[in-house]
Amino acid sequence: MYNTLSKRKEAFRTVKPGKVGIYLCGPTVYDKAHIGHMVGPVIFDCIKRYLVYRDYDVQWVVNITDVDDKLINKANERGISMLEVAEENIADYNDNLAALGVDQIDHFPRATECMDEIIAFVQSLVDQGYAYASEGDVYFEVGKDVQYGKLSNRSVAAMQGEGGGTAARKRGLADFALWKSAKPGEPSWDSPWSKGRPGWHIECSAMSKKILGATFDIHGGGLDLVFPHHENEIAQSECCHDAPMVTYWAHNGLLRASSAAGKVGGRGSSAERADQEGADEQRLSHPGVNPQQSGKMSRSAGAGGLAELIARQGGERIRFFLLRTHYRSTVLFNEPALDEAGVGLEGFYRLFKRYTRITGKDFYDLHPSTPQAVENDDSANNSSLAEALKCREKFLNAMDDDFNTGGAIGELFELAKIINKFCDDNDLEGDGNSDDRVIQLQRLLATLKELAAILGIFLQAPTSDGESEAGDALLGPLMQLVISIRAKARTSKDFATADTLRAGLDPLGIAMEDRAGGTEWSGGDNQSMPGIMQLLVELRNTARAKKDFATSDLIRDSLAAIGITLEDRSGGTEWSADGAK
């Protein structure tokens, strides 16, 4: 596991045998979450799943910062309480986590619920001479900590930052606030120094100590938190306890909105981009908005849009996309890239459908394989299974190497190919379907499921966005009708009609696949209805023109059976559906 503190990978060891404590810096809940807030939770969700898979007893903490200048400002802006702002955004945060399949968090401490611990922590630092009170504030004296700067690798002397707070009240410019006295009207808590609130960094030291102990295993967060937040945390905690705070500091890379200049490390003219930005800013005189969305993913680029993004793309796709890249890398985030990841995911979903065609069962009901089952499996003479086990080994090796989810996903694709090939080679959708083969197929898929569960994917069928469900009621029967009409055409070798139907559905986003057992369709939503109807009406008109009334009446009668009425008028054929129009 890579350690930001040592700047290299280290063998994994734990403070207590068999136990792992993880603390991830969560959001300051002054606004809706954006996609960048999801990176840490998703990767740490995987890390926990993997450690649990490896039989560790894991406690994972994600804190919520619910007291802060920004929350206070927001509350004043909106004329509601700080608590109300927090509650609203916590709910939003939790919804987003759930949509991305992040459900491994054990503790969600909130700063406002840990005031006693925070105040005690500050007091301890004052008592030990590492902090001083000044006009109601309390500051950490950076100069007293000889190790200060070791995490972010900077010297106190070289620092230009002020460390926040009012310079006049501080002994050193880099000293940072542990406690801030409240201005009139601000939320405050009693303390030995003043009515006030905690500084930003102290809550993490206090809450991690409370739940995980003075020394724990993994502390995570975004790369942007290394300085000053984590540098200050480590200073507070280690001065307070005279013991290491954590064994591994793990920082995830940040998301970037795509820029016209292209890839992260690639070529591109920054000068050109800067020029254009300058020009745009002049023209629009609107410096707050970056027209090309280049640069770091910012609040303005993503705020408020996460729920919509999830509804559009689906939580599993976003999760899968994030896990394709190693967690320490910068990721260019944009919807075309998400779409591409989605294409890859579709292949897995098709394999699961294939399993259902072969067995009549649901992939999501299949029991995953386990390490124990693999050890005891005597059927390695089956070459497909042997290949699958090789993939499994590579997958686990990748995860063992600093949680390399990107490499692991590559093996998942390889595994899917092996399984598809097994189905092909043995004609499982035709004459080769035997109990014996089905059992082998299940074993292969159980391995896929075992590994996917580590990444937290393929745990349940992806939910389609809720919007379209009402209109979908008619889509199914309508498609059955289209399929039966097309089947009739195909049997009578009327391929022109069959192809017209299939080609006509394509622009509506509906695909048809002819299988041995019948035709399958996918895609489409309530928006597709008018298009399908138009197609059927045209088909019927063609039949009528040819005086093929058998076909035209069949279409009309079948539609009537599912509640859609056709009326031939002089201007054309009109249709109406009961209730759903």
* 200 near RNA (CB under 7 A): yes
| CB-nearer residue toward RNA: 496 or 560 | 496
Each residue 369-398 as x (binds RNA by CB under 7 A) or -, in order, gives -----------------------------x
Q: Which stretch binds RNA (CB under 7 A): 100-108, 157-165, 358-366, 564-572?
A: 157-165
| CB-nearer residue toward RNA: 271 or 378 | 271
- Strand spans (E) along 319-388: 331-333
Among 125, 126, 358, 409, binds RNA (CB under 7 A): 409
Shortest Cβ 429–RNA spacing (Å) = 9
* 432 near RNA (CB under 7 A): no
Q: Which of 326, 491, 334 is nearest to 410 (CA)?
A: 326
Q: Residue 333 pairs with which residues in a beta bridge?
A: 257
Q: Which stretch binds RNA (CB under 7 A): 13-21, 100-108, 320-328, 552-560?
A: 320-328
Distances (CA, A) of 137 to 126, 178, 191: 12, 8, 10
Shortest Cβ 73–RNA spacing (Å) = 11
Q: Residue 519 pairs with which residues in a beta bridge?
A: 514
User: What distance in Å separates the CA atoms of residue 131 and residue 368, rounded to the nearest whole number?
Assistant: 53
Shortest Cβ 262–RNA spacing (Å) = 6
* 27 near RNA (CB under 7 A): yes
On the question of a cis peptide bond just before residue 228, with omega within 30 degrees of 0, the verdict is yes
Show the tokens assigned to 523.
């895609």
- Residues 497-526, interacting with RNA (CB under 7 A): 498-499, 502, 511-515
Each residue 439-468 as x (binds RNA by CB under 7 A) or -, in order, gives ------------------------------
* 483 near RNA (CB under 7 A): no
| CB-nearer residue toward RNA: 274 or 561 | 274
* 329 near RNA (CB under 7 A): yes
| CB-nearer residue toward RNA: 66 or 450 | 66
User: What distance in Å separates the CA atoms of residue 10 and residue 3, rounded to the nearest whole number?
Assistant: 7
- Residue pair 136/166 in contact (Cβ under 8 Å)? The answer is no
* 331 near RNA (CB under 7 A): yes
User: What distance in Å separates the CA atoms of residue 106 and residue 22, rounded to the nearest whole number?
Assistant: 10
For tokens 């920082």, the residue is 251
- Residue pair 126/132 in contact (Cβ under 8 Å)? The answer is yes
Among 1, 223, 307, 459, binds RNA (CB under 7 A): 223
Sort strands 331-333 and 255-257 into parallel, antiparallel or unpaired.
parallel
Shortest Cβ 33–RNA spacing (Å) = 8
Shortest Cβ 161–RNA spacing (Å) = 2
Show the tokens assigned to 158.
């070289």
| CB-nearer residue toward RNA: 19 or 324 | 324
* 330 near RNA (CB under 7 A): yes
Show the tokens assigned to 101.
């399949």
Shortest Cβ 7–RNA spacing (Å) = 6
* 347 near RNA (CB under 7 A): yes
What is the number of helices (H) and of strands (E) in the chain?
Answer: 19, 16
| CB-nearer residue toward RNA: 494 or 568 | 494
- Residue pair 188/197 in contact (Cβ under 8 Å)? The answer is yes
* 154 near RNA (CB under 7 A): yes
Q: List all residues 6 or more positions away from 213 whose beta carbon is below 8 Å from its beta carbon.
A: 15, 21
Shortest Cβ 351–RNA spacing (Å) = 7
Each residue 70-109 as x (binds RNA by CB under 7 A) or -, in order, gives x---------------------------------------
Among 256, 317, 319, 392, binds RNA (CB under 7 A): 256
What single string gives the DSSP state of each residue in 517-532? TEEEEEE--GGGHHHH
User: What distance in Å separates the CA atoms of residue 90 and residue 94, rounded to the nearest whole number?
Assistant: 6
Q: Which of 346, 342, 364, 343 is nearest to 355 (CA)?
A: 364
Helix or strand run (H / E) with residue 515? strand 510-515
Shortest Cβ 568–RNA spacing (Å) = 29
- Residue pair 150/239 in contact (Cβ under 8 Å)? The answer is no
Among 6, 269, 492, 576, binds RNA (CB under 7 A): 269
Q: Which stretch binds RNA (CB under 7 A): 189-197, 251-259, 355-363, 430-438?
A: 251-259
Q: Which stretch binds RNA (CB under 7 A): 25-33, 107-115, 449-457, 550-558?
A: 25-33
DSSP 468: G
Shortest Cβ 202–RNA spacing (Å) = 12
Burial code of 201-232, b = ≥16 C-beta within 10 A, e = fewer? bbbbbbbbbbbbebbbbbbbbbeebbbbbbbb
| CB-nearer residue toward RNA: 37 or 144 | 37
| CB-nearer residue toward RNA: 227 or 575 | 227
